[in-house]
Amino acid sequence: MKHCFACCPPPPMGPARVEKLAKLFASLPSKDERKKALDAWKLTLTCDHVVTRTQHRDHSYYGSSVVECPECSACRGVMHSERVGPAYSDEGAQADRAAVDRERLAEELTAAKSKLQRQRKNTAATQRHVEEIEKQLKLGR
């Protein structure tokens, strides 16, 4: 006879099932072991803010196209994602991690300076355009 389990709870598990489940749960990796399998990702959002998220290292690209921007307090699209490296490391590898962080920061600084230079060029071009329009308006009067 089958039971729907809607009117009462299921019957208790037997000792063999409990033992099997205990072995299964004991074989799972610990939280610290699971952390070692995570990579950090640097995400550039549509608002130009950069956030860091973690994801399992089996992924070759960041799995979400939208994330919450902590600075804007809104969901934003991911324009660019870059794997930074292991999100968590052993204490012995902290010196290596610091070197990787310095290298990453140097790359970020170079990219920011490049972006600033492009923006300055665009500003100068816009300023010239405005001056040209003003000159044409003065000549037309």
pLDDT digits (tens, 9 = 90+) for 91-139: 555 666 677 778 778 888 888 898 899 999 999 999 999 999 999 998 8
CA atoms within 13 A on the CB side of 137: 6
What is the C-alpha separation between 96 and 86, in angstroms, rounded?
Answer: 11
**Span 48-53, average pLDDT:** 90
Helix, strand and coil in the chain, % to nearest 5: 50, 25, 30
What is the C-alpha separation between 33 and 55, in angstroms, rounded?
Answer: 14
Whether residue 66 has pLDDT greater than 90: yes
Residue 17: its pLDDT value, please?
93
Whether residue 14 has pLDDT greater than 70: yes
Lowest-confidence region among 2-6, 29-33, 136-140: 2-6
**Span 45-64, average pLDDT:** 89
Instruction: Give the bridge partners for 53, in sequence order.
Output: 41
What is the C-alpha separation between 30 and 27, in angstroms, rounded?
Answer: 9
Tell me the average pLDDT of the chain.
85
What is each CA distance from 113 to 14, 29, 65, 118, 119, in whole angstroms? 66, 43, 26, 9, 10
**Span 25-35, average pLDDT:** 83
